[in-house]
Structures are given as structure tokens and as C-alpha cells.
């Protein structure tokens, strides 16, 4: 079939297998040229099919020859209906990894559930014996608690007072004011339940009691801080509370891992266009200005550049520098004073008329379409493609 993008707000309902494949091949090429010395060998990535998790899987596999198991929650294709992009990404990654002699298997289902945890542990036991790295990169709007069956929904709201500022509809380029009413106490609780650290801890507890964590095992989850511009809706909003919880959980997990000499980290990453971040109000306008500034300064990075730097310059480097709160920072270039001062200056000037000039709306839009395999260089979108693609190592 010929597959075209069908967007609705900040989501795209279709995705393109060839475009997703090309994205994977590009990321693999990038990492192959930057091997990770003393990198991981047996890796589990939770949230492995898109964004930072996918880049982590590719970096482990192609930077360090690691065997990888990827867990994710993606929609398979049916006749006439393309899969979700993470499905095509995983299919392309595994096909290439197998061609290159790398172990790669996947588990598709709700990683918050006890069943998926058990299935993953069985697979580790059967095939790898143990793992030396777990990347926790879930981004989900909902979580069903595995023990109580309660279903939590996360929200992106300010705490305490209404937040009003500009955002952009990147499809139309219209810059407009939005107001978001403050959350309730329940909203905070629910968001922490979905995006906080409880599930990460549960994974570690299960993996540890199954005896599948190697000595010197490491685990990393991803967080975000960002500037004062987005603070009310991000770091000091409901999602920020969840990130506080996630960051506090890293210390608890490190305690849990004492006897295997293991360590848990949170890495604070840069703001990037992913399916998760396009849903956050104000962030698209911030990102389009940030991209412009960082590209002009020659310090722009995408997910793969960020994660390759995380592995090579932080996690597996000789000295791992942490910030005052014990976190890894790869948002250092985003948060540079000169970068933030410029973004703030542009923010004040941003209108529907000025944004195409002062911001990188095109870059934002291209990145958004790329997430779904569209507008990828070198792909012929007029060519008939088979939407039915299987993931070779799917369990
Ligand atoms: P994403 O939306 O690209 O990826 C989410 C992944 O989670 C996908 O693999 C998806 O299949 C998987 N997933 C979602 N629900 C699942 C479930 N119930 N069971 C199994 N898998 C499930 O998200 P992105 O942006 O890569 O986010 C990953 C982490 O990075 C999040 O913690 C996010 O807060 C953090 N982060 C994101 C930044 C950004 O600007 N995008 C910046 C800094 C941190």
C-alpha cells in the first residue's frame, strides 16, 4: 500500500515501515563509528522501541556488541493498517542486528504488568543467564497497578495556580496563548504512580530475586529538568513530581543492589521531539527555539547523539561525574547559560509571524514526521510497501 501521514493534533495515526527502517540504519551507522570501550554486554531496555530507549538499544548493540532484549508496547500491523512506529523500528533493528550476528529479542506488552516481567525474566534466564545493564525508558500516559488492578492516568498540569503562556501548533505555525488550570492532589498522586519510580523498583526487585543481575550491574532511568520557561508545567508540575520520585528511587535501588555491587542512576536528558514530548503544552515552542539556537551553535543533538554521549562520556567513561543531586547530566549543552539566555530572548519575540524566522519550526516538524517514518531522506514514498512486517525476535 501507499502510506501517507495522517495526523491528529500531536499524534500521527500512520507510520511508514521503510522510513522507520531508514531511521534505524542511520542511527546504527552513527554508533558504529563511536564504539563504547568497556561497554555493556547483556542489556535489557524497557521502552526500547522509540525515542531514548531505542537509541539506548542501538548504542548498546552497535557500540558495544551487546545482546539486547527490548520490551515495549506497540501495535502490530493488520491488513491495510500500518503498525505503530515502534513496531517497525523494532522489526528493522532486529532484522539488521541478526544480519550482523547480534542477539536481539523483543517482548511486546504492558511492562507494568507482572506477566511481562515474568516473561522477560524467563527469557533472560533461558538465553542470557544475566544482564549487566537495564535501561528504563518508559513513557506512558496510563498504568494499571499490577497488584491492585487500579488504573492511574498521568496528567501534565501545573501545581497550585493556573499557568498561562504561549505555545505553538507546529502544523499551522500558529503561536497562541494557552492556560492550564492547576491539578488536584489526586492528579499528582496518579502521575507519580504512572511516571514515578515504583515500577522501576519493581523490575529491579523481580530481576534480583530471580538472580539474573550480574556483578557491577547498572541501571539508568531518564529524567528531564529544563529551564524556568517550562518549569510551571514541567519540573514544578505534576510530571516534575513524578521525576522527583523517579530520581529518589535511584538511591533506593542502589541500596537494593549493594550485594551485587550494582548502581542505579538517573540521567537528565535534553528536550527532544518524541511521541511523549509532543504531548506536553509549551514544550513544542520551547523546542523549536532551542533547536534553532543549538543548531546555530553547532551543539544540536538527537536521541542517538545524546545516548552515545551518555555511554561514552558518562556511564562507561573512567570518571563518572554527577551533579549535586547525584544525577548524570547530558542536558548540559541545553542548559548552558548562553543557550538559555538566547532562547529566553527569542521567547519574548515569538509570534506566528516571527517564529518561522527566529525558531526552527521546520526542524521540529521534520523531527515529528521522522518519528513515524515520514519525510525521511532517501525513502521513496510513492513506492508500494508491505505494511505487514514481523519482528524477527518477537517472543
Ligand atoms: P517515547 O514515547 O519515544 O518512548 C516510550 C517507550 O515506552 C516506547 O518504547 C513505548 O513502546 C514504551 N511504552 C509505553 N508504555 C508502555 C507499557 N505500558 N509497557 C511497555 N512499554 C511501554 O518516549 P521518550 O521521549 O523516549 O521518553 C523516554 C523517557 O525519557 C521518559 O522517562 C521521558 O520522561 C524521558 N525524557 C524525555 C525527554 C524528551 O524530551 N523526549 C527529555 C528527557 C527525558
pLDDT confidence of residue 106: 98
Give the Å distance between the CA of 384 and the centre of ligand 1: 31
Q: Which residues are CB-contacts of 179 (< 8 A; sequence separation ≥ 6)?
A: 162, 163, 164
Task: Catalytic residue, from 222, 234, 286, 291: name it.
Answer: 234
Q: 361 falls in which pLDDT band (50, 70, 90)?
A: very high
Q: Which of 87, 112, 138 to mutate to test the pocket of ligand 1 (most atoms within 8 A of CB)?
A: 138
- Residues paired with residue 71 on neighbouring β-strands, in sequence order: 46, 107
- Relative to the CA of 84, which ligand 1 atom is closest? 11
Give the Å distance between the CA of 351 and the centre of ligand 1: 30
Q: Looking at residues 15-19, what average pLDDT do you find?
A: 98
* Length reported for the chain: 395
Cβ proximity of 136 and 111 under 8 Å: no
Cβ proximity of 253 and 201 under 8 Å: yes
Cβ proximity of 339 and 333 under 8 Å: yes
Residue that the C-alpha cell 547530566 belongs to: 329
Q: Which of 51, 120, 193 to mutate to test the pocket of ligand 1 (most atoms within 8 A of CB)?
A: 51
pLDDT in tens, 376-395: 999 999 999 999 999 999 99
Give the Å distance between the CA of 242 and the centre of ligand 1: 14
CA distance 286 to 228: 11
Instruction: For residue 229, give the CATH number of its domain.
Output: 3.40.50.720
Q: Looking at residues 202-228, what average pLDDT do you find?
A: 97
Residue that the C-alpha cell 513496531 belongs to: 87
Q: Name the residue range of residue 225's domain.
A: 7-157+186-279+302-331
- Relative to the CA of 221, which ligand 1 atom is closest? 32
pLDDT confidence of residue 29: 98
The per-residue b/e assignment along 267-301, b for 16 or more CB within 10 angstroms, e otherwise, is bbbbbbbbbbbbebbbbbbbbbbbbbbbeeeeebb
CA distance 299 to 30: 16
Give the Å distance between the CA of 302 and the centre of ligand 1: 15
Nearest CA to ligand 1 atom 38: 271
Residue 259 located in a structural domain: yes
Above 90 in pLDDT, residue 347? yes
Residue 390 located in a structural domain: no
CA distance 311 to 38: 10
Q: 279 falls in which pLDDT band (50, 70, 90)?
A: confident
Above 90 in pLDDT, residue 227? yes
Cell of 140: 506512558
Tell me how many degrees the CA angle 345-346-349 measures, rounded to the nearest 5: 100
CA distance 221 to 134: 9
Residue 53: burial class (beta carbons within 10 Å; 0-12, 13-18, 19+): buried
- Relative to the CA of 270, which ligand 1 atom is closest? 42
Residue 291 located in a structural domain: no
Residue 326 located in a structural domain: yes
- Relative to the CA of 246, which ligand 1 atom is closest? 32
Known catalytic membership, residue 234? yes
**Residue 138's closest CA among 50, 62, 205?**
50
Q: Which of 74, 89, 116, 137 to mutate to test the pocket of ligand 1 (most atoms within 8 A of CB)?
A: 137
pLDDT in tens, 313-341: 999 999 999 999 999 999 999 999 999 99
pLDDT confidence of residue 264: 98
Which residues does a 6 A CB cutoff place in the pocket of ligand 1?
Answer: 47-53, 71-74, 86, 110-112, 137-140, 222-224, 269, 271-272, 274-277
pLDDT in tens, 44-85: 999 999 999 999 999 999 999 999 999 999 999 999 999 999
Mean pLDDT of the chain: 96
Q: Centre a 10 Å sphere on the Cβ of residue 116 and count the other Cβ atoms it contains.
A: 19
Residue 290 located in a structural domain: no
Nearest CA to ligand 1 atom 5: 139
Torsion angle in degrees (nearest 10) through CA of 383, 387, 392, 395: 170
pLDDT in tens, 95-131: 999 999 999 999 999 999 999 999 999 999 999 999 9
Cell of 207: 530481576
Cell of 329: 547530566
Q: 11 falls in which pLDDT band (50, 70, 90)?
A: confident
Residue 363 located in a structural domain: no
Nearest CA to ligand 1 atom 3: 51
Residue 31: burial class (beta carbons within 10 Å; 0-12, 13-18, 19+): buried
In the chain, the number of structural domains is: 1
3-state secondary structure of 200: helix
Tell me how many degrees the CA angle 268-53-229 measures, rounded to the nearest 5: 35
Residue 47: burial class (beta carbons within 10 Å; 0-12, 13-18, 19+): buried
Residue 323 located in a structural domain: yes
Cell of 304: 542517538
pLDDT confidence of residue 280: 84
3-state secondary structure of 74: coil
Residue 238 located in a structural domain: yes
3-state secondary structure of 205: helix
pLDDT in tens, 230-259: 999 999 999 999 999 999 999 999 999 999
Q: Which DSSP category does 281 fall into?
A: T
Q: Looking at residues 347-352, what average pLDDT do you find?
A: 96
How many C-alpha atoms does 374 have within 13 Å on its Cβ side?
18
Backbone angles phi, psi at 100, to 5 degrees: -90, 10
Amino acid at each position: 500500500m501507499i502510506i501517507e501521514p495522517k495526523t491528529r493534533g500531536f499524534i500521527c495515526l500512520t507510520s511508514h515501515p521503510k522510513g522507520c527502517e531508514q531511521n534505524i540504519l542511520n542511527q546504527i551507522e552513527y554508533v558504529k563509528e563511536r564504539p563504547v570501550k568497556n561497554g555493556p554486554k547483556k542489556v535489557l531496555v524497557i521502552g526500547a522501541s522509540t525515542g531514548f530507549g531505542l537509541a539506548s538499544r542501538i548504542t548498546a548493540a552497535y557500540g558495544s556488541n551487546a545482546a539486547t532484549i527490548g520490551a515495549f508496547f506497540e501495535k502490530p500491523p493488520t491488513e491495510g493498517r500500518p503498525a505503530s512506529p515502534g513496531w517497525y523500528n523494532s522489526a528493522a533493528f532486529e532484522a539488521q542486528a541478526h544480519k550482523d550476528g547480534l542477539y536481539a529479542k523483543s517482548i511486546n506488552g504492558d511492562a507494568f504488568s507482572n506477566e511481562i516481567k515474568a516473561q522477560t525474566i524467563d527469557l533472560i534466564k533461558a538465553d542470557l543467564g544475566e544482564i549487566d545493564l537495564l535501561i528504563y525508558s518508559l513513557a506512558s500516559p496510563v498504568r494499571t497497578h499490577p497488584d491492585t488492578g487500579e488504573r492511574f492516568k498521568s496528567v501534565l498540569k501545573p501545581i497550585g495556580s493556573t499557568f498561562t503562556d504561549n505555545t505553538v501548533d507546529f502544523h499551522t505555525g500558529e503561536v497562541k496563548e494557552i492556560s492550564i488550570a492547576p491539578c488536584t492532589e489526586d492528579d499528582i498522586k496518579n502521575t507519580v504512580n504512572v511516571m514515578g519510580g515504583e515500577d522501576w523498583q519493581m523490575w529491579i526487585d523481580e530481576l534480583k530475586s530471580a538472580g539474573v543481575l550480574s556483578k557491577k550491574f547498572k541501571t539508568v532511568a531518564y529524567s528531564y529538568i529544563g529551564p524556568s520557561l517550562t518549569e510551571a508545567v514541567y519540573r514544578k508540575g505534576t510530571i516534575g513530581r513524578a521525576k522527583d520520585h523517579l530520581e529518589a528511587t535511584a538511591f533506593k535501588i542502589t541500596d537494593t543492589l549493594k550485594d551485587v555491587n550494582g548502581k542505579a542512576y538517573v540521567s537528565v536528558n535534553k528536550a527532544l521531539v518524541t511521541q511523549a514530548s509532543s504531548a506536553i503544552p509549551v514544550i513544542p515552542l520551547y523546542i523549536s527555539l532551542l533547536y534553532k539556537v543549538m543548531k546555530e551553535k553547532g551543539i544540536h543533538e538527537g536521541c542517538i547523539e545524546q545516548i552515545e554521549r551518555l555511554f561514552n562520556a558518562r556511564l562507561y567513561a573512567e570518571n563518572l561525574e554527577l551533579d549535586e543531586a547525584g544525577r548524570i547530566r547530558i542536558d548540559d549543552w541545553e542548559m548552558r547559560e548562553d543557550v538559555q539566555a538566547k532562547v529566553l530572548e527569542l521567547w519574548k519575540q515569538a509570534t506566528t509571524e516571527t517564529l518561522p524566522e527566529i525558531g526552527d519550526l521546520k526542524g521540529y516538524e521534520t523531527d515529528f514526521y521522522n518519528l513515524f517514518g515520514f519525510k525521511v531522506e532517501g525513502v521513496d514514498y510513492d513506492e508500494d510497501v508491505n505494511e505487514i512486517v514481523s519482528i524477527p525476535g518477537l517472543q
